[in-house]
Structure 1
């Protein structure tokens, strides 16, 4: 139960951090003056939301002068190529900038244009023409979204002063293994979510921030995971490695027997057997590998000593969801699978038909679609 509560709390925490500041409206007397509704003619300034400036979908090629009262700036889906300092001279209160779907390059970002925004929390630069992570950035930044650019380089020291950053999204770029040095992520003391899916990595990125809880590496070409790799990220709870080239030989000797991991996704790899897992794991995705059988004696976590008058339902393995479709496994499911994982609620295997379940099991057998 404690693990389930831990799982829910962290999901809610991530969700809250992503959205809370995006919807709140704070009208503080110190931030703007009553009647101060100067508005760039290219944009829309809703009287009911005086701290927001909407300039999206207007074919803009330049960023207009931003009034001092603005907290939330929406500039997505335009033709903007540059980010100069001048438009932001008075925008000392900015918390949120959305510049997604423009034509911004690294050469177009004037040095100091972003770092001067001392209160900026959220920066969205998705779907642009960036070839490296922009720098310098304000120390206050909490989220940096750079998905779907052309990023292949991370200059040394880029993250050195971003101790407040909690989310870094670099998915769907052009990152190779040589983009990372051992100190690339140094400084990201509070990073919780790192997304590097859909790049060209062959190896796991080195020396990740210790507080990383969500690590997404889907759709790369990763072949192996170094021994003791997870020792440096002892809080990782959500690990996604779908659509890679992982084989049995490429996994650590202990597999994924990592007590912090609650959700593990290894779909579309080259595994021939189920890896070792922790008793704390709740969701396991192994579909579309080359697994032929399930050796429960190997994968069943060894239960720790139970307190008096307690049983496996309270202190045994926590696995509740297991996906195995797209492999070479034939029914029936081994009886000892349910004996080990007594909290299983769903097991997905190919072509299930007329399989009877033991009376103690609450497993729902689901045929793949």
Structure 2
């Protein structure tokens, strides 16, 4: 009961400048808030020109929310990307006047504020990119990185990092992160999984503990898990493909996660190309995945967002058409925000002058069919 009361107070206690949850909807300044959004993982380490261009192009496309990385752990991250946030456990200090990840986060959040764009900072990563749980494993001598969810020292280290970040004062705006309405929500982790625990209970318990912890510090912002939406044997994929996303094998139970009172909305990711789905079934598999989650979100009266999705530009498929169909099914069935992967722009540090298309999902505001279709969808939503 105390958890439920806490969640209610947090949701209703924020002012109109903050995006809030009201039952199944997001609300901003008293009005329902639905949006087209995107992801960008280099906003906490690239130079001003690259960061500025992302927000400029997002604004031009009508994008209202950008999900960004809010972590950078370990010496490897520092060496590879010339930045750090937490090079060693519990060390968050800038060294010798270096421009580090915290200053870059400050700058990016200030730029978002300038354009009226909200951001979702992610607090750690299941994957090794930029450190994440793999670093917590090394720091705490864990046997497996999945022990991050249950090891008390690792959990305490995560909480310490979260507390530091939420209480940080942005050097460009003078506003503490926990008091900044530019932040849409906090996200516990990027794509948490736990194949070692087929019950799904460990991640659910961890998400409950950490979301309560955040809401005890921050009375203004929503919290999400950041998972991919894997289900627990309730159904199967389109034409029985990708059933591993439905059978609980990844240690994620989306239906349990969305019921946590201090988790304000559900998240799903959608990558049929990476998930072993036949190319001819990408569109229909994605539509079914969206509908299956819509039913659960409606059942528990919670919002949900299609937080990451993409089809590679080498697939020889009509990406713009499939994205249009996924968005249509999503928004017509109660979805609240659709965020494609990944909006990029100029990069003065690259020989080409633009950010490299590392994963084949790159979207640039260059007048081609995919960004124009996404812009069209965004503009329709923004006029409502």
- Say whether the fold is shared (TM-score over 0.5): no
Q: Which has the higher helix share?
A: 2
Q: Which structure would you say has the larger RCO, counting Cα contacts within 8 Å and 6 or more residues apart?
A: 2
What's the TM-score, normalizing by structure 1? 0.29
